[in-house]
Amino acid sequence: MTTIYFIRHAESDYTEHNDELRPLTDKGLIDRQLVTAYLMDKDIKIILSSPYKRAVDTLVDFANKVNLPVITVPDFRERKVDSEWIDDFDSFARQQWQDFNFKLSDGESLSEVQQRGIAALKKVLENYKNQNIAIGTHGTILSTIINFYDKSFGYNEFNEIKHVMPWIVKFKFDGDKCIEIEKINIFKYKYK
């Protein structure tokens, strides 16, 4: 049995429009302690993350406490929306969930994001079989991974979690077959 804890990053500072460099807010830096508290007794052997600062920084507190490196995996990065900042993100997101192939001229479709995320996940399942793994990632790519295994997860469910940061989703796999998906309410855990 392989157990993967996907961790959507804590709250990030949207005044930084560079997706790769966007840091956590002060609240995000505090809330990442919830991730640490939750993961401490999960016997995590491997910590992987999107290379984006907010994803790595969400896991670094836990990584330091358990003396494990955070290994970056570029394919767990967030979807590229476009080269320009999008002001009406809600309309854009709705359109993408209605048409998985819709994308802006310099962006990615949800279909492309899902294919990238699932390919990366399959490599993890091959390379770290029967381990407990934490993976730092982002809301959209995580939502498309859930959707791959559970087609009922769509725009409405994505919209419900868009402000939930951090967010943990636990996947259990028997080989490469997903047998359970559990969404974790991280805010019931206490700061340490």
Give 30-69 as a DSSP string. HHHHHHHHHHTTS---EEEE-SSHHHHHHHHHHHHHHT--
Q: How would CATH label the architecture of 2-187?
A: 3-Layer(aba) Sandwich (3.40)
Domain locations in the chain as residue ranges? 2-187
Mean pLDDT value across the chain: 93
- Rg value, the chain, Cα: 16
Phi first, then psi: what are they for 154, rounded to 5°?
A: -135, -150
**∠ Cα 16 88 169 (to 5°):** 70
Residue type, 70: V
Its pTM stands at 0.94
Q: Is residue 184 helix, strand or coil? A: strand
Q: What is the mean pLDDT of the segment spanning 146-162?
A: 95
**Per-residue pLDDT at 192 exceeds 80:** no
Give the pLDDT confidence score for residue 57 in this predicted structure.
98
Q: What is the C-alpha to C-alpha distance for residues 164 and 134, in angstroms, rounded to an integer? A: 18
Q: What is the C-alpha to C-alpha distance for residues 190 and 188, in angstroms, rounded to an integer? A: 7
**Helical H runs in the chain?**
26-39, 53-66, 89-98, 110-127, 139-149, 155-161
**Per-residue pLDDT at 20 exceeds 70:** yes
Higher pLDDT, 93 or 67: 67
Q: What is the mean pLDDT of the segment spanning 1-25?
A: 94
Lowest mean pLDDT among 69-83, 116-130, 176-190: 176-190
Give the pLDDT confidence score for residue 94 in this predicted structure.
93
Give the pLDDT confidence score for residue 190 in this predicted structure.
55
Lowest mean pLDDT among 32-46, 49-63, 88-102: 88-102
